[in-house]
C-alpha cells in the first residue's frame, strides 16, 4: 500500500521537476539543459559563482542572441548575453528592473532591510535621500579624514615591514578599509590597524567568514524568498547584528547628546531619523526613518564598503608585484603627481591617471561583485524578440563573464592597464566594463570606493616596492566559498621600504 503512495509521490515530483526544467524551452528562450538539484549551478561547492556563470555565458552566447535561460537550483534565471540588452536592463527599461529580488526580512533581521535589498517606492525614496551623501562635494569634505587613515596605514605597514616578514596583505587592507568606513559611517576610531583584534574588524571578518553558509543563505533567499521569510531566516549571526545595533545606538546617542556634527554618513542618517529636510528636495514619501532603518543603512555602508575595496587593492598589488615594469610606471605616476601638487591632495588623487588605469584593469579582471541581479517588476517584452520575461523573473548580468569576453577585451587573462587609455575606452561598448553596475540602481558608493582605493594604492606605491613572496600562490585560485571574489589562502606579499 505505502509503496504505491511513494511511487505516486515520486512520479508527481518527477513530473513537476520536468515541467519546471522546461520553463525556458516552452518560452522559446535558448537554454541549457539542467538537472536536479543544482540546475546549472552544478559544482557550486567547488567553483566560484563567477566561473559558473561564465560557463553558462560561453555556452549560450551567440551572435544576435540577447539572453539565454538557465536554472539556479529549480528556478529559472535569464542570463544577459548582449551588451545592448544589458543597457536595456540597467538604463533604458529601468522601470521594469528597479528591484534585485534579494532576501530581506525587516521583522526577524532588521539589518537586512537596507538600500541594497529594498524595493519599489521605498527604495526610490531612500536612494533619493542618501544620494546627497555621496556627491563629489561630500567626498572632498571627507577627504582629510580618509587621508589620515591612509597615512596611519602607511606607517603601520612600515612598522611590520621593518621586521622583515612576509605580509598577508588582504587582512591588512581590510583593516584599512574597515577603519575608513568605521570613521566615516560610524564616526569611530576603530583602530583595527593598531590592534588587529579590534571589534569592528572582528565583526567584519565574522560576516564574511561564515561564507559557505552565507552564500547558501543568500542563494536560498534569492530563490525561495517567501519560504525563507516564513522560516524567519536570518542572514547574519545574532551576535554580529547585536554588535552593529549597539554601535549605531551609541553613536546616535552620543551625537545627539553632545550635538556633534561631522559631515559624515552618520550625520545624514541622523537627520533622516529626525526628518529634518536634507538639502533642498521635494520627495516626502519616506517620512521619518526609524532607528532600525538607519542602523540598517549604516550597516550596508560598512558591509558593502570594506570588503569590496580591500579586495580590489589586494588584486591590484598582486598584479603590480608580478609586473614590476607596470609597478614602476604606476609609482612614477604617483611621485610625479605628488611633486606637482606638493602632497597627496584630493586633486592629486584624481590626476593619477595611470594608477586609475591599474585599478580599473583590476576591477575588470576581478570584479568583487561577479554577477548583478535584477527582478522583473512587470511582464517585459524583450525588444526585437517575441520573448516575454514574466513578473518576478530574475535577470542576471554576468559581470565577470563579460569582463573576460575576448570580443570586448582581447587576450582577457592578461593584465594590461593600457586598456583604459582614452582611445581604447572610446572604442568599447559602454556596458563592457560594469564593476559598479550602471543606471539608477548602480553602486551608490562608487566615488567613495574608488577614492579609498586610490588613496590606499597611492600611499603604498609611494613608500614601498612590492614583490611576490615565496609562498604566494601563482596562479591564483579564487576561493569558491567566498561570495566576493577573493584569493584562496590569502595574499602573501613582500614589501621593501624605498
Ligand atoms: C570597489 C568598491 C565597490 C564595488 C566594486 C562595488 C560594487 C557594487 C555593485 C556591482 C553594486 C550593484 C550595482 C547594480 O545592481 O547595478 C553595488 C551596489 C551598492 N553599493 Fe557598492 N561597490 C563598491 C563600494 C561601495 C562602497 C564604498 C559603498 C558604501 C559606502 C557601497 C555601497 C553600495 C550600496 C548601498 C549599493 C546598493 C545601491 C542601491 O541598490 O541603490 N559600495 N556596489
Ligand atoms: C575607471 O573606473 C571608474 C569606475 O567604473 C570610472 O568612473 C572611470 O571613468 C574609469 N576610468 C577610465 C580611465 O576608464
**Residue having the nearest C-alpha atom to atom 1 of ligand 2:** 360
Q: What is the pLDDT of residue 440?
A: 97
Q: What is the pLDDT of residue 496?
A: 94
**Residue having the nearest C-alpha atom to atom 12 of ligand 2:** 420
Give the mutation target among 312, 373, 445 for probing the ligand 1 site: most ligand atoms within 8 A of CB: 445
Share of the chain above pLDDT 70, in %: 95
Residues 6+ apart with CB under 8 A from 292: 106, 110, 113
Nearest alpha carbon to residue 326 among 349, 355, 363, 348 = 355
Which atom belonging to ligand 2 lies closest to the Cα atom of 425? 14
Given a contact cutoff of 8 angstroms between Cβ atoms, the answer to whether 98 and 123 are in contact is: yes
pLDDT in tens, 137-174: 989 988 998 999 999 999 999 998 988 889 999 989 99
Tell me the whole-structure pTM to 2 decimals. 0.94
Q: Which residue range forms the structural domain that includes residue 433?
A: 2-497
CATH code for position 330: 1.10.630.10
Cell numbers representing residue 148 in the block: 589620515
pLDDT in tens, 125-140: 999 988 988 899 989 9
Instruction: Judge if the upstream peptide bond of residue 462 is cis by omega within 30 degrees of 0.
Output: no
Tell me, using a 6 A CB cutoff, whether residue 300 lines ligand 1.
yes
Beta strand residue intervals within 398-450, DSSP E: none
Give the mutation target among 98, 298, 436, 451 for probing the ligand 1 site: most ligand atoms within 8 A of CB: 436
CA atoms of 233 and 122, how far apart (whole Å): 22
Tell me, using a 6 A CB cutoff, whether residue 395 lines ligand 1.
no
Structure confidence at residue 465 as a pLDDT band (50, 70, 90): very high
Structure confidence at residue 339 as a pLDDT band (50, 70, 90): very high
Q: What is the pLDDT of residue 286?
A: 61
Most confidently modeled range among 168-182, 209-223, 349-363, 467-481 = 349-363
Tell me, using a 6 A CB cutoff, whether residue 425 lines ligand 2.
yes
H/E run at residue 60 = helix 49-60
Cell numbers representing residue 389 in the block: 520575461
Tell me, using a 6 A CB cutoff, whether residue 312 lines ligand 1.
yes
CA atoms of 105 and 112, how far apart (whole Å): 6
Tell me, using a 6 A CB cutoff, whether residue 397 lines ligand 1.
no
Tell me, using a 6 A CB cutoff, whether residue 369 lines ligand 1.
yes
**Residue 384 buriedness (CB in 10 A; 0-12 / 13-18 / 19+):** exposed
Tell me, using a 6 A CB cutoff, whether residue 362 lines ligand 2.
no
Nearest alpha carbon to residue 203 among 104, 307, 293 = 307
CA atoms of 367 and 359, how far apart (whole Å): 11
Find the 16 Cα to ligand 2 centroid distance in Å: 47
Nearest alpha carbon to residue 374 among 65, 93, 2 = 93
CA atoms of 449 and 262, how far apart (whole Å): 20
CA atoms of 415 and 42, how far apart (whole Å): 29
Question: What's the DSSP call for residue 374?
Answer: E
Beta strand residue intervals within 6-65, DSSP E: none
* Span of 181-195, 320-334, 368-382 with lowest mean pLDDT: 181-195
Torsion angles phi and psi, residue 476, rounded to 5: -65, 150
Tell me, using a 6 A CB cutoff, whether residue 116 lines ligand 1.
yes
Tell me the DSSP string of 212-230. Answer: HHHHHHHHHHHHSHHHHHH
Which atom belonging to ligand 1 lies closest to the Cα atom of 134? 30
CA atoms of 402 and 409, how far apart (whole Å): 9
pLDDT in tens, 412-440: 999 999 999 999 999 999 999 999 999 99
Given a contact cutoff of 8 angstroms between Cβ atoms, the answer to whether 308 and 369 are in contact is: yes
Number of domains within the chain: 1
pLDDT mean over 42-53: 87
What do you get for the CA distance between the two ends of the chain, in Å?
Answer: 81
Nearest alpha carbon to residue 262 among 190, 189, 183, 192 = 183
Tell me, using a 6 A CB cutoff, whether residue 456 lines ligand 2.
no
- Largest Cα–Cα separation, the chain: 87
On average, the pLDDT of the chain sits at: 89
What SS3 state is found at 78? strand
Structure confidence at residue 291 as a pLDDT band (50, 70, 90): confident
Torsion angles phi and psi, residue 62, rounded to 5: -160, 150
CA atoms of 109 and 98, how far apart (whole Å): 23
Amino acid at each position: 500500500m505505502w509503496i504505491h503512495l511513494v511511487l505516486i509521490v515520486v512520479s508527481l515530483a518527477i513530473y513537476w521537476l520536468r515541467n519546471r526544467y522546461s520553463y525556458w524551452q516552452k518560452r522559446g528562450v535558448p537554454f541549457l539543459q539542467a538537472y536536479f538539484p543544482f540546475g546549472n549551478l552544478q559544482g557550486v561547492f567547488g567553483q566560484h559563482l563567477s566561473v559558473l556563470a561564465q560557463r553558462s555565458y560561453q555556452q549560450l552566447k551567440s551572435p544576435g542572441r540577447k539572453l539565454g535561460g538557465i536554472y539556479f537550483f529549480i528556478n529559472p534565471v535569464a542570463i544577459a548575453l548582449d551588451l545592448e540588452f544589458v543597457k536595456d536592463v540597467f538604463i533604458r527599461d529601468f522601470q521594469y528592473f528597479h528591484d534585485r529580488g534579494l532576501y530581506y526580512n525587516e521583522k526577524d533581521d532588521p539589518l537586512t532591510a537596507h538600500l541594497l535589498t529594498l524595493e519599489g517606492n521605498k527604495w526610490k525614496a531612500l536612494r533619493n535621500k542618501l544620494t546627497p551623501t555621496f556627491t563629489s562635494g561630500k567626498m572632498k569634505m571627507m577627504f582629510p579624514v580618509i587621508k589620515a587613515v591612509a597615512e596611519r596605514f602607511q606607517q603601520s605597514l612600515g612598522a611590520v615591514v621593518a621586521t622583515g616578514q612576509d605580509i598577508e596583505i588582504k587582512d591588512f587592507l581590510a583593516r584599512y578599509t574597515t577603519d575608513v568606513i568605521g570613521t566615516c559611517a560610524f564616526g569611530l576610531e576603530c583602530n583595527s590597524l593598531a590592534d588587529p583584534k579590534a571589534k569592528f574588524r572582528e565583526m567584519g571578518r565574522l560576516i564574511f567568514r561564515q561564507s559557505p553558509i552565507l552564500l547558501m543563505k543568500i542563494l536560498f533567499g534569492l530563490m525561495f524568498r517567501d519560504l525563507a521569510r516564513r522560516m524567519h531566516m536570518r542572514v547574519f549571526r545574532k551576535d554580529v547584528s547585536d554588535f552593529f545595533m549597539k554601535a549605531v545606538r551609541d553613536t546616535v546617542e552620543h551625537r545627539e547628546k553632545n550635538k556633534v556634527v561631522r559631515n559624515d554618513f552618520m550625520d545624514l542618517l541622523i537627520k533622516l531619523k529626525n526628518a529634518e529636510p536634507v538639502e533642498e528636495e521635494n520627495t516626502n514619501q519616506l517620512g521619518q526613518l526609524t532607528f532600525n532603518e538607519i542602523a540598517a543603512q549604516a550597516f550596508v555602508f560598512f558591509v558593502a564598503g570594506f570588503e569590496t575595496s580591500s579586495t580590489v587593492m589586494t588584486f591590484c598589488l598582486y598584479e603590480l608585484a608580478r609586473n614590476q615594469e607596470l609597478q614602476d610606471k604606476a609609482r612614477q605616476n604617483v611621485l610625479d603627481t605628488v611633486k606637482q601638487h606638493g602632497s597627496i591632495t584630493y586633486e592629486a588623487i584624481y590626476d593619477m591617471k595611470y594608477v586609475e588605469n591599474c585599478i580599473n584593469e583590476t576591477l575588470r579582471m576581478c570584479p568583487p561583485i561577479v554577477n548583478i541581479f535584477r527582478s522583473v517588476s512587470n511582464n517585459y517584452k524583450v525588444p526585437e524578440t517575441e520573448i516575454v520575461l514574466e513578473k518576478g523573473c530574475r535577470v542576471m548580468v554576468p559581470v565577470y563573464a563579460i569582463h573576460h569576453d575576448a570580443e570586448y577585451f582581447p587576450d582577457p587573462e592578461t593584465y594590461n592597464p593600457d586598456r583604459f587609455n582614452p582611445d581604447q575606452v572610446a572604442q568599447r561598448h559602454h556596458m563592457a566594463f560594469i564593476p559598479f553596475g550602471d543606471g539608477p540602481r548602480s553602486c551608490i558608493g562608487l566615488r567613495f570606493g574608488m577614492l579609498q582605493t586610490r588613496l590606499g594604492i597611492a600611499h603604498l606605491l609611494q613608500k614601498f616596492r612590492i614583490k611576490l613572496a615565496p609562498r604566494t600562490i601563482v596562479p591564483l585560485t579564487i576561493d569558491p566559498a567566498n561570495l566576493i571574489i577573493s584569493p584562496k589562502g590569502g595574499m602573501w606579499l613582500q614589501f621593501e621600504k624605498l
